[in-house]
Amino acid sequence: MSSIENFLKNAVTPWMGPKGEHSNIVMSTRVRLARNLKGFRFPLDFSREEAEEVDHQVAAALEGMEDFSHIPMESVPAIQRQALVEKHLISPQLADPERPGSVILSGDESVSIMVNEEDHIRIQVIYPGLHLLEAFDRANDIDNRLEEALPYAFDGEFGYITSCPTNTGTGLRASVMLHLPALSITSNMARIAQAVARLGMTVRGSYGEGSDALGNVYQVSNQLTLGKSERDILMDLRDLAERLIEQEERARRALLEHSPMKLEDRVWRSYGILTNARVLATDEAANRLSDVRLGIDMGIIPDVDVSVLNELMIFMQPAFLQRYAGETLQPGERDVFRAKLIRERIGMGRQSGREN
Amino acid sequence: MSSIENFLKNAVTPWMGPKGEHSNIVMSTRVRLARNLKGFRFPLDFSREEAEEVDHQVAAALEGMEDFSHIPMESVPAIQRQALVEKHLISPQLADPERPGSVILSGDESVSIMVNEEDHIRIQVIYPGLHLLEAFDRANDIDNRLEEALPYAFDGEFGYITSCPTNTGTGLRASVMLHLPALSITSNMARIAQAVARLGMTVRGSYGEGSDALGNVYQVSNQLTLGKSERDILMDLRDLAERLIEQEERARRALLEHSPMKLEDRVWRSYGILTNARVLATDEAANRLSDVRLGIDMGIIPDVDVSVLNELMIFMQPAFLQRYAGETLQPGERDVFRAKLIRERIGMGRQSGREN
């Protein structure tokens, strides 16, 4: 097995796959529930003893429920912690070595429960495609199991109590990761972000607040957690996602109609650069991967699998690159390994595409 | 046979081949002798009868000498005339449909004798690689044959009389076409052009006076035709060409030493774009072909033949593109066919390179 095949065997997660509704535009769906236990201070200012007791109680409550692994952060080397962040399985805060925390992961990595992050418990479910209700149902099952065993901090008027008041109420944050290259190319995203904000929702880059929309991947999520039922939050977000998908599809048809050759040229040039460049910075790689993904979706590039692009958006980041290289890399060296990884991975994708 | 194979079968000329000394840097050598007949006015202001008589006498003098074809310009469709210009076999002036002229071509296109261009006779020999003396010898043989049969305009003091005084004397213009990408990348060409001018020679773009150095191809030629023997003119030019080759080689070694990854990245990106782009303007195509040629010369790109690049620099021009397309093309359409031609030709080159 080549080094890249070996690397991928250990790194690919099922939710990166091409399954799921609208999977040409929706990269993934995420649902997160924030919960806290009565009788403990919030993680920001609790003691190490409290942290250990919370961690112990949560792990015990879930014992035997699924093939969960309980992973204390301090047992994880820094580079692996970073890789978990790049895969969206934990937050950068949980990866902070100064703070006690752990993650409980399902075997397929679709469920990750962060313990002692900003709240005592954050149940997160990631699915490929647009599957908000299904993801919520799975998170809800885990929530019910925990609630049976543990005393949640809950207020009859406000709902679930959270460390940050913006999460209080349902404690629900739902988000959909959308690839919107045509709306970006046609400079529509600023207008859309304003319209979305008026609906009480937000559009931002794929790594959350303050992050750029690397490679035209946007995360759309609910802003409000209070005053609306979980179901309403999810339905409103699904409606919004569907409207954005429709607008993206319309923008794609317009590009194809008005300047098909310009579009083909853009897509194929990006393909040519990804499969040949020897140095690729993150931003350029993300934008060119976005072009190629658009080309695949629109039938311009025939024999590359979309899941290759989903994977590469994640694996081209520093921690995964270093796992792939098998050594610590300086920023300049990362650009060289990023180019190598992308070149080899797309090459593999083409071969297997051709065999089908 | 594919359309491109068929096109190339009819368009490739032996002097585009990779043979010849220093053929990695020297694309071709050209020698031209200007001659006029006594008793006729210069082509700029002679009569149609005089033109026909000159043409007839020149053609008759060369009859049976080689496998020459005598081609009156008025018998050649405009697009074919343009193709002869793009191949450097005739000048743009000779292609002017308002003026009477013809060309006498050898079967391998290494000899082209323009009749009734600016002078009555211009004998031109093109060879691949650096072969100034050999090219001159061939031109000289033809010149001797003509001189035996025809009364040349010759002055004991000044030498051969020409329409433009800058050609009077030997009537010799010799030039070498050099690919100097490393000297261009390292911004040395302005300095070199000044130094060359001080030696009584000139450096300019590949299509002669006033033309840009498309794709880093420069034409170095003698400025003086008077006061020096033919042999001295040729030896001085050869010395200069060899010095430029040495400087280019030194600049290449420096690029490889100081920033090998940057160089590899540049070369491979250009390769990726040439083999994938759907729209390519002349300038961009020339610059990227220059990068790829540099990559081949330096062993970075292993399996493409340099002659492919020599050919494409010529065939990517408007008249050849239209012959390839089989129809008249608007400028925007040319960029599309240029991209197609380059993509297909490099693809062919790789295949045959791999079979070896």
Q: What is the C-alpha to C-alpha distance for residues A270 and B261, in angstroms, rounded to an integer?
A: 20
The pLDDT score that the predictor gives to residue A6 is 63
Q: Give me the mean pLDDT over the B57-83 stretch.
A: 90
Is A288 annotated among the ligand-binding residues?
no
Query: Is the pLDDT score of B24 beyond 90?
Result: no
Residue B45: count of CB within 10 angstroms of its CB: 8
Task: Residues B1-15+30-169: name the CATH superfamily.
Answer: Glutamine synthetase/guanido kinase, catalytic domain (3.30.590.10)
Considering only CB atoms, A336 lies closest to which of B261, B271, B277, namely B261
Contact status of B337 with chain A (Cβ, < 8 Å) = no
Closest CA to B111 of B89, B94, B91: B89
Contact status of B255 with chain A (Cβ, < 8 Å) = no
Is B174 annotated among the ligand-binding residues?
yes
Query: Is the pLDDT score of B153 beyond 80?
Result: yes
When pLDDT is cut at 50, 70 and 90, the band that residue A206 belongs to is low
Tell me the two tokens of residue A296: 């695949």
When pLDDT is cut at 50, 70 and 90, the band that residue B353 belongs to is very low
More confident site: B344 or A16: B344
**Do residues B116 and B102 touch, judged by C-beta distance below 8 A?**
yes
Q: Which of chain A's residues have a Cβ under 8 Å away from the Cβ of B274?
A: 272
Q: Which of chain A's residues have a Cβ under 8 Å away from the Cβ of B262?
A: 279
Q: What is the mean pLDDT of chain B?
A: 88
Query: Is the pLDDT score of A219 beyond 70?
Result: yes
Q: Which of chain A's residues have a Cβ under 8 Å away from the Cβ of B261?
A: 278-279, 336
The pLDDT score that the predictor gives to residue B208 is 53
Query: Is the pLDDT score of A2 beyond 60?
Result: no
When pLDDT is cut at 50, 70 and 90, the band that residue B317 belongs to is confident
Q: Give me the mean pLDDT over the A68-81 stretch.
A: 90
When pLDDT is cut at 50, 70 and 90, the band that residue B23 belongs to is confident
Query: Is the pLDDT score of B351 beyond 80?
Result: no
What residues 9-28 of chain B have any CB closer than 8 A to a CB of chain A? Answer: none
The pLDDT score that the predictor gives to residue A20 is 62
Query: Is the pLDDT score of A241 beyond 80?
Result: yes
Closest CA to A122 of A157, A166, A163: A163
Contact status of B331 with chain A (Cβ, < 8 Å) = no
In this predicted model, what pLDDT tens digit does every residue of A30-59 receive, in sequence order? 999 999 999 999 998 899 999 999 999 999
Q: What is the largest CA-CA distance in chain B?
A: 64
Closest CA to B58 of B147, B140, B124: B147
- What value, to the nearest 5°, has the Cα angle with vertex B207 and ends B206 and B209? 100
Torsion angle of C-alpha atoms B290, B296, B302, B304, degrees rounded to 10: 60
The pLDDT score that the predictor gives to residue A70 is 93
Is B191 annotated among the ligand-binding residues?
no
Contact status of A304 with chain B (Cβ, < 8 Å) = no
Radius of gyration of chain B (CA): 21
Query: Is the pLDDT score of A214 beyond 60?
Result: yes
When pLDDT is cut at 50, 70 and 90, the band that residue B211 belongs to is low
The pLDDT score that the predictor gives to residue A227 is 82
Q: Give me the mean pLDDT over the A303-330 stretch.
A: 85
Q: Give me the mean pLDDT over the B101-108 stretch.
A: 92
Name the residue ranges covered by the structural domains of chain B.
1-15+30-169, 259-353
The pLDDT score that the predictor gives to residue B272 is 97
The pLDDT score that the predictor gives to residue B212 is 62
